[in-house]
Amino acid sequence: MGRELHGRFPVFAEVLDEVLSGLDPALREVIWGDDEPALNRTVFTQPALFAIEVALYRSRRRHSACGRTSWPVTPSVRSPPPMSPACSH
């Protein structure tokens, strides 16, 4: 979870390490370890996802703040479905 991004993008690695430093120290071991059942436990899954999401957001912000216009990670976003006429009032 995030291992490839951490290894490939120094800004992401720095930010993820910063976020993880404020969370349960055991979380880092679970994220980088091989104990998949532990990572599947909500007590670790939720904070792991939070840390990855925050790191992605902050990495993107830092990248934009440096004047770069593109970033190698492109979000996959779908347009919301059209609203039905009943919802448009």
Report pLDDT for 60: 83
CB 12 within 8 A of CB 59: yes
What's the CA dihedral at 75, 38, 7, 54 to 10 degrees?
40
Tell me: pLDDT of 89 over 60: no
| CA 1 – CA 19 distance, rounded (Å) | 15
Report pLDDT for 59: 86
Residue 39: CB partners within 8 Å, gap ≥ 6?
1, 30, 31, 33, 45, 48
φ/ψ of residue 18, rounded to 5: -65, -45
Residue 61: CB partners within 8 Å, gap ≥ 6?
none
Report pLDDT for 65: 58
- pLDDT tens digits, residue range 25-44? 999 999 998 999 998 999 99
The percent of residues in the chain predicted with pLDDT above 90, rounded, is 44
